[in-house]
Amino acid sequence: MSPEYARLMGVTATQGKSAMPGPLDVGAKLWEHLKRPFYDKRPERQGAGIQLGYSIARVGLGYYLAVMVAIPLGFLIGMSPADQQGASIRSSRS
């Protein structure tokens, strides 16, 4: 192995080890995250369940805000006299 490549890859490459974790290491870490989904140690260290809850809440809030704007706006556009005039012009042309 060339010295430049060894410096690029880090210490583990020169020792013959892979820098990527193996399947057992990945499985152990996944199990660690899944067995405690609601832990809350710090703001940046929360379980998957808490993060999923926050994500669903954000989607729900966005949907609620969109509905609160879109439904009244749709009614206003639908009842607008300009739209009624445009509809009669469109129907007379066909």
Helix (H, G, I), strand (E, B) or coil at 66: helix
Q: What is residue 6's predicted lDDT score, i.e. its pLDDT?
A: 74
Say if residue 11's pLDDT is above 90.
no
Looking up tokens 């490549």, which residue turns up? 5
Farthest-apart Cα atoms in the chain, separation: 82
- DSSP E strands in the chain: the ranges are 40-42, 45-46
What is the mean predicted confidence (pLDDT) over 11-29? 78
- 22: tokens are 């193996």
**pLDDT tens-digit map of 51-88:** 899 999 999 999 999 999 999 998 888 887 776 666 56
Report yes or no on whether pTM surpasses 0.85: no
- 9: tokens are 């890859």
Backbone φ and ψ for 45, nearest 5 degrees, come out as -125, 90
Percent of the chain with pLDDT over 70: 76
Q: What is residue 13's predicted lDDT score, i.e. its pLDDT?
A: 58
- 18: tokens are 């892979």
